[in-house]
A and B are shown apart, each in its own frame.
Chain A
Amino acid sequence: MTAVMTAADAGLMSCHACGLLSRPAAAHDLACVRCGTALHERKPDSISRTWAFLIAACVLYVPANILPVMETGSLFGSQRDTIMSGVVYLWTSGSWPLALIIFIASIMVPGAKLLAMTVLLVSVQRKPGWRPHDLGKLYRIVELVGRWSMVDIYVAAILAALVQFQALATIKAGPGAVAFGAVVVLTMFAAEAFDPRLIWDPVKEERESDD
Chain B
Amino acid sequence: MTDLPKGPGLSGIADAAVAPKRRRSFQFVWVIPIVAVLVGGWLAVQAILDKGPTITITFKTAEGLEAGKTKIKYKNIDIGEVTALGFTKDLSHVVVTAELKKGAAPHLVEDVRFWIVKPRIAGGQVSGLGTLFSGSYIEFDRGKSSVPRRDFEGLEVAPLVTGDVPGRQFVLQGRDLGSHDTGTPVLFRRIPVGKVASSELNQDGTGVTLKIFVESPYDKFVNPNTRFWDVGGIDITADSSGVKINTESLMSILLGGIAFETPADSPVATQAEENTVFLLFADRALAMKRPDKEVFVFSAIFSESLRGLSAGAPVEFQGIPLGEVQSISAEYDMEGGVFRFPVELALYPDRVGKLFKPGATRARDTGLTQQQFFDHLIERGLRARLKTGNLLTGQMFVALEMVPDADKAKADWTKTPPEMPTAPGGLQQLQHVLASFAKKLDTMPVDKIGVELRQALQAMHKMLQSTDLLVRRLDNELAPKARETLEESRKAMQAAERTLAADAPLQQDAREALRQLGRASQSLRLLADFIERHPEALIQGKKSGGQ
Contact = CB atoms under 8 A, between A and B. Distances in A.
A182 B36 contact: yes
Nearest to B78: A78
Interface in B15-36: 15-22, 27, 29-30, 32-33, 35-36
Contacts of B14: 20, 22-23, 33-34
B37 interface: yes
A166 to B, nearest CB: 17
Interface stretch (A24-32, A148-156, A198-206): A24-32
B541 interface: no
A63 interface: yes
A22 B16 contact: yes
Given A60-B40, A63-B44, A27 B1 contact: yes
B36 A23 contact: no
B5 A11 contact: yes
Nearest to B19: A31
Contacts of B37: 55-56, 59
B4 interface: yes
A6 interface: no
Contacts of A25: 15-18
A26 B10 contact: no
Contacts of B135: 76-77
A12 B16 CA distance: 9
A100 interface: no
A179 B134 contact: no
Contacts of B33: 52-53, 55-56, 59
A32 B18 CA distance: 9
A59 B134 contact: no
Interface residues on B, range: 20 to 34
A13 B345 CA distance: 128
A114 interface: no
Interface string A26-68: 1101111110101100000100110011011101101100110
Contacts of B30: 48, 52
A109 interface: no
A32 B17 contact: yes
Contacts of B43: 63, 67, 175, 179
Interface in B354-411: none
B128 to A, nearest CB: 15
A15 B47 CA distance: 47
Given A59-B40, A67-B43, A175-B43, A53 B32 contact: yes
Interface string A64-76: 0011000000011
Contact of B13 (A23, A32, A179): A23
A52 B32 CA distance: 7
Main DSSP-derived SS at the A contact region: mixed
A67 B46 CA distance: 11
A105 interface: no
A29 B15 contact: no
A21 B7 CA distance: 14
Contact of A26 (B13, B18, B22, B44): B18
Interface residues on A, range: 35 or more
Given A27-B1, A75-B133, A49 B13 contact: no
B227 interface: no
Contact of A66 (B1, B47, B78): B47
A23 B16 CA distance: 5
Interface in A73-127: 75-79
A33 B40 CA distance: 44
Nearest to B36: A56
A29 B22 contact: yes
B113 interface: no
A89 B393 CA distance: 77
A24 B29 contact: no
B69 A79 contact: yes
B195 interface: no
A53 B18 contact: no
Among all A-B residue pairs, the 9 with the closest Cβ atoms: A11-B4, A56-B36, A31-B19, A56-B33, A22-B16, A30-B16, A55-B33, A59-B40, A59-B36
Interface of B: 1, 4-5, 7, 10, 13-22, 27, 29-30, 32-33, 35-37, 39-40, 43-44, 47, 69, 71, 78, 133-135
29 contacts: A10-B5, A20-B14, A21-B13, A22-B15, A23-B4, A24-B16, A26-B18, A29-B21, A30-B16, A31-B16, A33-B15, A45-B29, A48-B30, A52-B33, A55-B33, A55-B36, A55-B37, A56-B35, A57-B36, A63-B40, A66-B47, A75-B133, A76-B135, A77-B69, A77-B135, A78-B78, A175-B43, A179-B39, A186-B32
Given A25-B18, A33-B15, A189-B32, 17 more contacts: A10-B4, A10-B5, A20-B14, A23-B4, A26-B16, A29-B18, A31-B19, A34-B14, A45-B29, A52-B30, A56-B32, A56-B35, A57-B36, A59-B36, A60-B39, A63-B40, A179-B39
